[in-house]
Structures are given as C-alpha cells and as structure tokens.
Amino acid sequence: MKNRVPDILLIYTGGTIGMVKDYKTNALKAFNFDQIKSKIPELKLLDCNIETVSFPCPIDSSDMSPKYWVEIAEIIENRYDDIDGFVVLTGTDTMSYTASAMSFMLENLNKPVIFTGSQLPIGDLRTDAKENLITAIQVAATQENGKGKIREVGLYFEYKLYRANRTTKVSSEQFEAFESPNYPHLGESGVHLNFNTRWIKDEDQTAGLVVRKNFDSNVVVLKLFPGITEKVVEHMLSFSELEGVVMETYGAGNAPTASWFIDIVKRTIDRKIPVINVTQCTGGSVLMGLYDSSIRLKEIGVINGKDITTESAIAKLKYLLGLQTSHKDFKTKFERSLRGEMS
Ligand code: ASP
C-alpha cells in the first residue's frame, strides 16, 4: 500500500481545451501546455503530483488516426509502472473513437485512463475546461485499497464519468456533449464525487499490460438510408482491399429485403469480410431475427453488434483485424464483450 500521493500523467493531444483566445484578433490559438499549472493554479491544490506531456504539434481531433492512437498508447505504456493514473486530453469531436480504441488497445489495463476535453477553450471566461480537467484528474487520482478506483478507460465530461467505449458525442454546443445511451454512468460529480461502484469494472488484472498497436485496416461504415442504390452499395463493398464493414441499419437491426442488397452483403461475407450490424438508433440494441427485414442478415452470417456504438464497433473491428483473427472465429469474438463495450 502506498502512502504517497498518486502520480498523475496528463497527456495533451490537442483540441479546444488547450486553446486560449487572442483577445486582439478574437481567434483561438494553442498555448504551451507545459504552462497549464499557471493557467489553472487550482491544479496545485489537488492531492496528487501532476506531470504533463504534450504532442509536439497538438492536433484538432478531426485529424486523429490510428497513428496517434498508438502514440497515446505508447506514452501510457512507457510510464505505466511509475504512474498511478492517466488523463488524456483530446478534442471532443472524435474523443469517443479514440477512447474506445484505447480500451481495446490497452489489454489487462489495471489503472485509470480518463479522457476529457471541453466545449470552450481553457482561456474563455465561461469555460467548461476547468471543471472537466480538475475532476478528471481527481477521478484518475482516486484510490481504493492502494489501487485506482477506476481500472478501465473512462470519459469524464460535464459532471459525469462514463465507460469510454459506451459514449457518443451528441451535442456540438451544449456542455453536456456526451451520452452513454446503453450503459449507466460510472460516476457523478456534485458536492461530492460519487462512483456507481456496481457498474465499474471490478476484476483485478494480474497479467501485465499488453498494448496492441496494429490498427491499419481498410474498413467502411455503410450507413443505410431509404433510397440507397445498388450501385452505391456495390461500389462501397466491392473494392479488393476491403477488410471489414460496420453496417448502420435501422431500428433493431433492420435492412432492405431486396435481393440485390442481400446478394451484395452475402458476396462480401463470402469473401471472408466481416460485416457488423449496428443500429442507427442512439439507444437500444440490434435483435437480428425480430423482424423479417433482419432474418436474412442473420442467415447469411452478418455479425450482431448488439448495443455497441458505431465508434466502438469501428475500434473493435480494427482491433480484431489487427490481431489477425481468423474469419471462422471473428463472429464469436466480435459478439462477445471484450471490454464491457456491449451488453
Ligand atoms: N474541433 C475540436 C476538436 O475536436 C472540438 C473540440 O475540441 O471540442 O479537436
């Protein structure tokens, strides 16, 4: 058991949170993140040691990619033994993708990795950045029996702590930018910082951290809409390097019953390319076979994404492809929850 205060590593990758307004020009510009403690003096009052590391060229999260996922994971990997909790700051736009990916990449994770960001820059008078940052650090620093209270990848935003791979960005302007429609939040910050212990991953990993870095794969998201044509679907699914498909269907996993549509999807699966059925609905689950319009999908071997988010489905698909999972095992592996990403 440690008596010392926890050591927290703050990893800044970019996004609005690290910006200040130049009041002369009114434009937002990145500030030197090493000076974070002078921008938020309250950080010195927290009961932990805070170190910071920043991407040399901070990025807008629209430019986020597996290459940067690996950079974040390697920073965590290199400091895993001497740091008690990690806080990762990214732009909010693709935060759910990055945080979901991280949950798969960091195998046997046994320490807190908490993502946060903000809707307004840290230098803005009405900023949400301070609260998000301070509480995310507190979450990462919360210990129980000498270990991190959270031992999974979380996302803290606007008073709520979520399981990261269950989140989705739902608002581009409200401070409450994220939701976890299919899984309860893991904690809430009010007068006290309360954890919903029942929903937090509780198994203790004894195996050491393994970081999976192989994420380069050609996957597509095929979002169905009424009137989608054969040509479009054919075009999207016929290129030779295609390795996986996340198919966003209607409601409980329904898709057109037209034979041309089923034929194209079947041909794709026959090429040993996994096709995942994910619902376009924000909440709820795919139930293949509930309606006629999904029975054929089930018969031809479409994988049931259940209540996974699209963000998490892409990350899981890339992760399993990166592990060279055989086509034979792919369906079973995908349909099983690996990091609490599906019910
Ligand atoms: N465009 C920004 C980003 O995602 C928005 C944000 O930080 O919230 O990097």
Q: Which residues contact 317 (CB under 8 A, 6 or more apart)?
A: 217, 219, 244, 246, 274, 276, 334
Closest by CA position to 313, among listed 221, 240, 177, 233: 221
119 C-alpha to ligand 1 centroid (Å): 7
Q: Is the CB of 148 under 6 A from ligand 1?
A: no
Nearest CA to ligand 1 atom 7: 91
Separation CA 189–CA 226 (nearest Å): 42
- Report whether residue 234 contacts ligand 1, using a CB cutoff of 6 Å: no
Lowest model confidence (mean pLDDT) among 27-31, 60-64, 265-269, 308-312: 27-31
Q: How far is the CA of 96 from the centre of ligand 1 (A)?
A: 12
Average pLDDT, the chain: 94
**Residue nearest atom 3 of ligand 1, based on CA coordinates:** 91
pLDDT at residue 223 greater than cutoff 90: yes
User: Ligand 1, atom 8: nearest CA belongs to which residue?
Assistant: 92
Among 16, 135, 268, 310, the active-site one is 16
Chain-centroid distance, C-alpha 134: 21
CA distance 176 to 168: 11
* Cα-to-centroid distance, 333 and ligand 1 (Å): 33
Does residue 311's CB lie within 6 angstroms of at least one atom of ligand 1? no
Nearest atom in ligand 1 to 16's CA: 7
Q: Is the CB of 18 under 6 A from ligand 1?
A: no
15 Cβ closer than 6 Å to some ligand 1 atom: yes
Within 8 A by CB and 6+ apart from 50, the residues are 8, 9, 10, 37, 43, 137
Strand pairing report for 178-179 and 168-169: antiparallel
pLDDT at 54 over 70: yes
Residue 204 — very low, low, confident or very high, per pLDDT cuts 50/70/90? confident
| Per-residue model confidence (pLDDT) at position 33 | 80
Ligand 1 within 6 A of CB of 63: no
Instruction: Round to whole Å and give the CA distance between 84 and 33.
Output: 21
> Tokens 């994988």 correspond to what residue?
303
Q: Which band of pLDDT confidence, cut at 50, 70 and 90, is reported for residue 3?
A: low
Determine if ligand 1 sits within 6 Å of the CB of residue 60: yes
CATH for 219-334 is 3.40.50.40
For residues 28-44, b (16+ Cβ closer than 10 Å) or e, as one string? bebbebeebeebbeebe
Of the candidates 288, 338, 305, the residue with the CA atom closest to the CA atom of residue 101: 338
Calculate how far, in angstroms, residue 145's C-alpha sits from the geometric centre of ligand 1: 36
59 Cα nearest atom in ligand 1: 9
pLDDT band at 147 (very low <50, low <70, confident <90, very high): very high
Q: Which of 113-127, 227-241, 244-258 has the lowest mean pLDDT?
A: 113-127
Per-residue pLDDT at 125: 86
CA of 328 to the centre of ligand 1 (A): 39
> Alpha-carbon Rg of the chain, whole angstroms?
21
Query: Please, how many CA atoms are within 13 Å of residue 250, restricted to the half-sphere of its CB?
Result: 12
What pLDDT, on the 0 to 100 scale, is given for residue 158? 97
- Whether the pLDDT of residue 29 is over 80: the answer is no
309 belongs to the catalytic site: no
Q: How confident is the model at residue 301 (pLDDT cuts 50, 70, 90)?
A: very high
Cα–Cα distances in Å, from 179 out to 75, 167, 195? 27, 5, 17
The answer, yes or no, to whether residue 320 has pLDDT greater than 60, is yes
Checking if the pLDDT of 1 tops 60, the result is no
Q: What is the pLDDT of residue 291?
A: 83
Q: Looking at domain 7-211, what is its CATH homologous superfamily?
A: L-asparaginase, N-terminal domain (3.40.50.1170)
Is the pLDDT reported for residue 212 higher than 60?
Answer: yes
Q: Does the reported pTM lie above 0.85?
A: yes
Q: In this predicted structure, what is the pLDDT of residue 38?
A: 80
Where are the domain boundaries for CATH 3.40.50.40 in the chain?
Answer: 219-334
Q: Where in the chain is the domain with CATH 3.40.50.1170?
A: 7-211
Q: How far is the CA of 28 from the centre of ligand 1 (A)?
A: 12
How does residue 225 score in pLDDT terms, banded at 50, 70 and 90?
very high
Residue 93 has pLDDT above 90, yes or no: yes
Percent with pLDDT over 70 in the chain: 99
Average pLDDT over every residue of 207-215: 95
Ligand 1 pocket, residue 58 CB under 6 Å: no
Q: Which helix (H) or strand (E) holds 32?
A: none
| pLDDT class of 163 with cuts at 50, 70, 90 | very high
- 197 exposure class (CB count in 10 Å sphere: 0-12, 13-18, 19+): exposed
pLDDT at residue 193 above 70? yes
High-pLDDT (> 90) share of the chain, %: 84
Whether the pLDDT of residue 296 is over 90: the answer is yes
The answer to whether residue 46 scores a pLDDT higher than 90 is yes
The neighbouring-strand residues paired with 154 are: 114, 163
